[in-house]
Amino acid sequence: MNLFHKVWLAALLIALSACAPLPTSTTSSQAEAPLQTITLPGARAPAKTTGPLLRGSEALEAVETQAASQVADLSAPVDLWDRMRRGFAMPDLDTDLVRDRERWYTARPETITRLTERSRKYLFHIVEELELRNMPTELALLPFVESAFNPNAVSSAKAAGMWQFIPSTGRSFDLKQNAFRDDRRDVLASTRAALDYLQKLHGMFGDWQLALAAYNWGEGSVGRALAKQQKAGGSTAYADLPMPMETRFYVPKLQALKNIVAQPQSFGVTLPLIENHPFFDTVTITRDLDVTLAAQLAEVPLEDFKALNPSLNRPLIMAAATPQILLPWDNATLFIRNLDAYSAGPTASWTVWVAPATMKAADAAKRVGMSEAELRRINNIPNRMMVGAGSMLVVPRASHVVSDVQSKVADAGQVSLAPELVMRKISYRAGKHDTVASVAQRFKVSPGLVAQWNKMPPKAEFKPGQQVVVYAMGEAEAANNTAVKTDKAVKTRLAVKPRKPPTVVAKR
């Protein structure tokens, strides 16, 4: 302590002693009640004063020592790992499975390095959100266990994102999922939903280890396991519950990671430095924007932009549905400046087109001026699938289109698909009393199509032995062949030509 601080502290002591109230003769119980001592979290209670009165430098030294013992550690964290350690609050699990996972992680230092490097984009935000909710900060390590901090991870159960929400649970926590975006991958939305869910589970079970088991196994499964243990008079602790092997390893994995972060030197691990500073900043957008242009204006690699905005399913950012994007901290201001100065044309070269009717992808592509392959790729349309009526497809934005995508379209993001109708040509000899209507009914097609294929009026009759052309789907053709073969009156009059039949689509 320098001279200035010593003089200041001595003056403060003199002022406090001068301001002390004189003893009074009041008999009020309130006045006689002893003063309560408030101790900061982590600070030791003040020691009782005993012994002779100290004076001069001795008194000053004693006051300094006592003051130091009453003040909590307010020093800034060295890095994000240090900040995280200060918020560890879950009871530790000490089992053989924890030791097993510790050995597994420490035997693979390159894995720890790769995972922590991937996490640096998101970890500060998660730790800060946990602190704001007064939740244990070791929960920030959970995405290591869930997805290896990969926001694009998808499990066999169709769980997505770094917090691994299945579709139904994601919808329960307001995570939008449509053709244009999947909020289960969104950094901010999925973190909010995950912490909401964990808080809910902790409220249900009153135990963080059981809450984590429920996050992995399902709240219903954990509830039934607890009820079964209680009925049998057994322990309801996490380690004693019967559970699937994945859940049995779930908390030990998190505990092992917590132990390594708490004392990396003890495990021979060097954690990559992660500064105690936000990695990204949010930027509001007010007009539609191409993903590639956004990355260019922010002057960041496209891969890095997508890593911060992984919820986008299409090459277009729709301001009506995604009004903010995430950018590296130092690039956010740069992006705003570059966007304001941008004058090379529209900021969006894509828009949304709503299919007026069910049609083949090739026909839809012709209407919007793009190749079928590109239409399928951009909109994730599988081969041999048709575009359903009302489908909202991302297509090139025509020069005359000046308005952005409307919110009712951007929020819907609907794409319906139907199997492509591959028709086979059948040559059929008409029998007595065969009409356009009867042939259509036999092959389960409309009379108008039969009339069109044979260039006849819809209510016309065929002459006995007349060659009739019918186009039917593969399954329908097989079913009708079977039906015809069982009908003695016509079984000799149906012949399928051996040559490869053409693909026919009825005229609109």
CA distances from residue 86 to 79, 89, 135, 225, 461 in whole angstroms, order as listed: 11, 9, 12, 33, 88
d(CA 132, CA 143): 19
User: Under a CB-based contact definition with an 8 Å cutoff, are residues 306 and 290 in contact?
Assistant: no
What the block records as the tokens of 5 is 């601080």
Only one residue has tokens 């999925």, namely 190
Q: 146 catalytic, yes or no?
A: yes
Going by C-alpha positions, the residue among 270, 261, 285 that lies closest to residue 348 is: 285
How many other β-carbons are positioned within 10 Å of the β-carbon of residue 375? Answer: 23
DSSP 419: E
Query: What is the secondary structure of 231-296 as a DSSP string?
Result: HHT---SGGGS---HHHHHHHHHHHHHHHHHH-GGGGT--PPP--SS-SEEEEE--S-EEHHHHHH
Phi and psi of 263, rounded to 5°? -140, 70
In terms of Cα–Cα distance, which of 116, 109, 145 is closest to 267?
A: 109
Pure H helices in 88-186: 96-106, 109-119, 123-132, 142-147, 167-172
* Phi/psi of residue 381, nearest 5 degrees: -100, 115
Q: Note whether 145 and 152 are within 8 A (CB).
A: no
Give, as one character, the DSSP assignment of residue 54.
Answer: P
Expressed in angstroms, the distance from the first to the final Cα of the chain is 90
Q: Is 398 helix (H, G, I), strand (E, B) or coil?
A: coil
- Please state whether beta strands 385-387 and 417-419 pair in parallel, antiparallel, or not at all (unpaired): antiparallel
Contact 411/445 with Cβ under 8 angstroms? no
Which residue in this structure is represented by tokens 């132990």? 259
Count CB atoms within 10 A of the CB of residue 310: 23
For 144, the token pair is: 């290591």
Alpha-carbon gap, residue 16 to 261, rounded angstroms: 45
User: What's the rounded Cα separation, in Å, for the pair 119 and 129?
Assistant: 15
Nearest alpha-carbon partner for 63 in 112, 125, 1: 1
The one catalytic residue in 146, 219, 372, 461 is: 146
Q: For residues 260 and 141, is the Cβ–Cβ distance under 8 A? A: no
Active site residues: 146
